[in-house]
């Protein structure tokens, strides 16, 4: 299936692909422009529903929903499902932005607004464009991609600064140590760049931190 997918991609005339890209942007903007005060929540699709981080994601989604925020996730299982579930239970807008993948990703049933994407880069633009804050729980390459995309855009002032919260000090601690002890020490980033990131383990404290910067 993956081989056929690549063959199909290569067979599409490049100029016509532009129209598909435009169509995805238009559809996403039309849907998300109806969503107010959104927080994007990221994390692994592989998180067990019985796991601690699943519960944390569900709780933070619920508390944000009760506080008047909408929730946007990647729409898949694991952490994404948990956050959508919490938002839905709070009666908030619960957006799932699903990406077509040959493995792992399938839409969860807790998103009450669903948008499907073929292109990762369009989806990433939408995550940033409509977010007032990011909450990032443990995840893999995709989660890291979203994290450093936001940090790069904020650092270079391509977007407005907003709270970027890492939830899970035991998981993210090694990364933060490396940023401080290797990247900062080598003068590849500055001290104030590290201030763009907050580690907050407690869902209620994460919501309070966001509320300090966002007035609904």
Q: Which run of H or E residues covers position 73?
A: strand 70-73
Average pLDDT of the segment spanning 76-105: 91
Closest CA to 100 of 14, 20, 19: 20
pLDDT on residue 216 = 72
pLDDT in tens, 168-206: 999 999 999 999 999 999 999 999 999 999 999 999 999
Q: Which residues of 106-116 are buried (b: 16+ CB within 10 A; e: fewer)?
A: ebbebbebbbe
What's the rounded Cα separation, in Å, for the pair 103 and 100? 9
CA gap 187, 184 in Å, rounded:
5
- In which band, very low, low, confident or very high, does the pLDDT at 1 lie, cut at 50, 70 and 90? very low
Is a pLDDT exceeding 80 seen at residue 215? no
CA gap 3, 6 in Å, rounded: 5
CATH code for the part of the protein at 2-213: 3.40.50.450
Q: What are the pLDDT digits (tens) for 111-152?
A: 999 999 999 999 999 999 999 999 999 999 999 999 999 999
Sheet containing 197-199: which strands, arranged edge to edge? 113-117, 94-99, 70-73, 38-42, 131-136, 164-166, 197-199
C-beta separation of 53 from 77 below 8 A: no
C-alpha to C-alpha distance for 129 and 182, rounded to whole angstroms:
31
Token pair, residue 94, equals 């619960």
């Amino acid at each position: 299936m993956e081989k056929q997918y690549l063959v199909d991609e290569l067979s599409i005339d490049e100029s016509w692909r532009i129209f598909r890209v435009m169509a995805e942007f238009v559809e996403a903007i039309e849907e998300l422009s109806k969503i107010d005060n959104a927080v994007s929540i990221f994390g692994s699709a592989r998180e067990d529903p019985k796991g601690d981080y699943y519960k944390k994601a569900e709780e933070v989604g619920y508390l944000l929903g009760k506080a008047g925020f909408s929730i946007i996730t990647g729409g898949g299982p694991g952490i994404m499902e948990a956050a959508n579930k919490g938002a839905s239970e709070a009666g908030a807008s619960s957006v799932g932005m699903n990406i077509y993948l040959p493995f792992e990703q399938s839409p969860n049933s807790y998103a009450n607004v669903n948008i499907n994407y073929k292109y990762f880069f369009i989806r990433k633009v939408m995550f940033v464009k409509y977010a007032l804050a990011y909450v990032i729980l443990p995840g893999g390459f995709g989660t890291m991609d979203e994290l450093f995309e936001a940090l790069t855009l904020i650092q270079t002032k391509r977007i407005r600064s907003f709270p970027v919260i890492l939830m899970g000090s035991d998981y993210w601690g090694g990364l933060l140590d490396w940023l401080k002890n290797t990247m900062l020490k080598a003068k590849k980033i500055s001290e104030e760049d590290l201030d763009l990131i907050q580690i907050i383990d407690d869902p209620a404290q994460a919501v309070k931190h966001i509320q300090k910067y966002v007035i609904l």
